[in-house]
């Protein structure tokens, strides 16, 4: 039976991935760990939860040893906009934290999932149908830390045989746990504001294309890549996974099909607009589809319908 440790388990991806893994493997086999000393009750009630600082390697070792962990989903990270405001913190958590996890994985022979991001690409990368293997010269510390993370995963696989796997996530849209400090957060806020106030002020320009994905597909990608046949996995850094290429304007049109009086206006945040402009419009994910059968389930209107229904029900 697998024993899984999830770092960053109270975050946007972690909270939903932990639930999905517990449904699959049993609640006692999935150890949730987050930096909050007092997490919401739902995290404590649903299985083992521990407070963890990924920058203290001995605390990771203690959990891996105590629970005989064989797989680590390492989700603890600082997102792009926050990292840009505090680059040292971004590097410390995203790179030093990952180094600690990889060292523990080497010592205790664990497999490791680490999310990479569309943030690994930069202005010189082809924007449309961004290939799996292409120029990676990001202009943000977040992107630099994620490229470093991808290279570290390759290194630990080649040098030590650590079973490292990852995907390059687009901006993720979900209703259960809010994202914090990302450039793509608008795509979550827009749904909450549409339901609550029927209007939203967006910090990105109306025509800004970005790769976006609904959370159930993101969770599926993380589980599928970790269960894929190691013989077919040829990329140990991270795979492009894509689902929808959207702009604020396009999401607005989809919301208006359900909430016709929804309106949007724009107050551009130069920091986040510059980051978004440096990222791809749409990644090409043929390699993930061929090598481990990646396939998203949700399109825009299906996601919009599900987001609005769930947000409305929880009010």
Active site residues: 142
Tally DSSP H helices, then E strands, for the chain.
13, 16
**Location of structure tokens 């697998």:** 2
Which of 18, 19, 132, 183 is in the footprint of ligand AKB by CB under 6 A?
A: 183
Span interacting with ligand AKB, options 90-98, 113-121, 247-255, 287-295, rule CB under 6 A: 113-121
Question: Is the alpha carbon torsion for 45, 51, 57, 61 positive or negative?
Answer: negative
Q: What is the dihedral of CA 94, 99, 104, 105, to 10 degrees?
A: 80
Segment 133 to 162, residues that bind ligand AKB, using CB under 6 A: 142
Which of 14, 34, 47, 119 is in the footprint of ligand AKB by CB under 6 A?
A: 119
User: Per CB under 6 A, does 184 bind ligand AKB?
Assistant: yes
Region of 182 on the Ramachandran plot (φ > 0 left; ψ -120 to 50 alpha; else beta): beta
User: Per CB under 6 A, does 247 bind ligand AKB?
Assistant: no
Cβ distance to ligand AKB smaller for residue 166 or 179: 179
H-assigned helices in the chain: 12-25, 41-45, 57-67, 80-85, 87-91, 97-108, 141-160, 186-197, 215-227, 248-256, 270-278, 286-292, 300-313
103 to 48, 59, 64, 274: CA distances (angstroms): 23, 13, 12, 35
Which of 102, 118, 204, 218 is in the footprint of ligand AKB by CB under 6 A?
A: 118
CB of 142 to ligand AKB, least distance (A): 6
User: Per CB under 6 A, does 242 bind ligand AKB?
Assistant: no
Query: What is the three-class DSSP state of 27?
Result: helix
Size of the site for ligand AKB (CB under 6 A): 12
- Indicate the residue whose CB is closest to ligand AKB: 182
Which of these, 108, 121, 229, 119, lies nearest to 169 by C-alpha position?
A: 119
Span interacting with ligand AKB, options 89-97, 116-124, 213-221, 235-243, rule CB under 6 A: 116-124
Strands 244-246 and 210-214: antiparallel
Query: What is the three-class DSSP state of 169?
Result: strand
User: Per CB under 6 A, does 111 bind ligand AKB?
Assistant: no
Cβ distance to ligand AKB smaller for residue 51 or 268: 268
177's tokens: 């746990």
Site string for ligand AKB, 249-288 (x = CB under 6 A): ----------------------------------------
Span interacting with ligand AKB, options 115-123, 153-161, 223-231, 294-302, rule CB under 6 A: 115-123
CB of 207 to ligand AKB, least distance (A): 18
User: Per CB under 6 A, does 166 bind ligand AKB?
Assistant: no
User: Per CB under 6 A, does 248 bind ligand AKB?
Assistant: no
Q: Are 234 and 291 in contact (CB under 8 A)?
A: yes
- Residues lying near ligand AKB in the complex (CB under 6 A) are found at 79-80, 117-119, 142, 169, 171, 179, 182-184
């Amino acid at each position: 039976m697998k024993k899984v440790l999830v770092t960053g388990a109270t975050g946007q991806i972690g909270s939903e991935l932990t639930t999905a893994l517990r449904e699959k493997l049993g609640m006692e086999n999935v150890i949730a760990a987050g930096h909050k000393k007092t997490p919401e009750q739902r995290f404590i009630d649903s299985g083992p939860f521990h407070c963890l600082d990924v920058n203290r390697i001995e605390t990771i070792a203690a959990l891996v040893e105590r629970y005989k962990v064989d797989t680590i989903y390492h989700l603890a990270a600082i997102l792009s906009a926050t990292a840009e405001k505090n680059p040292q913190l971004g590097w410390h958590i995203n790179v030093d934290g990952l180094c600690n996890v990889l060292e523990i994985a080497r010592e205790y022979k664990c497999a490791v999932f680490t999310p990479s991001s569309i943030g690994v690409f930069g202005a010189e990368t082809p924007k449309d149908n961004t290939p799996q293997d292409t120029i990676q010269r990001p202009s943000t510390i977040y992107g630099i830390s994620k490229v470093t993370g991808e290279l570290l995963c390759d290194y630990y696989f080649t040098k030590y045989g650590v079973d490292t796997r990852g995907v390059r996530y687009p901006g993720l849209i979900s209703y259960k746990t809010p994202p914090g400090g990302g450039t793509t957060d608008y795509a979550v806020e827009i749904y909450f504001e549409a339901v609550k106030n029927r209007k939203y002020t967006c910090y990105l320009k109306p025509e800004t294309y970005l790769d976006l994905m609904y959370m159930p597909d993101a969770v599926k990608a993380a589980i599928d890549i970790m269960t894929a046949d190691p013989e077919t996995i040829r990329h140990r850094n991270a795979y492009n996974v894509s689902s929808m290429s959207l702009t604020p304007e396009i999401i607005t049109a989809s919301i208006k099909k359900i909430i016709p009086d929804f309106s949007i206006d724009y107050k551009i945040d130069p920091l986040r607009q510059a980051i978004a402009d440096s990222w791809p419009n749409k990644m090409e994910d043929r390699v993930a589809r061929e090598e481990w059968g990646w396939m998203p389930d949700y399109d825009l209107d299906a996601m919009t319908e599900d987001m609005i229904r769930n947000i409305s029900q929880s009010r």
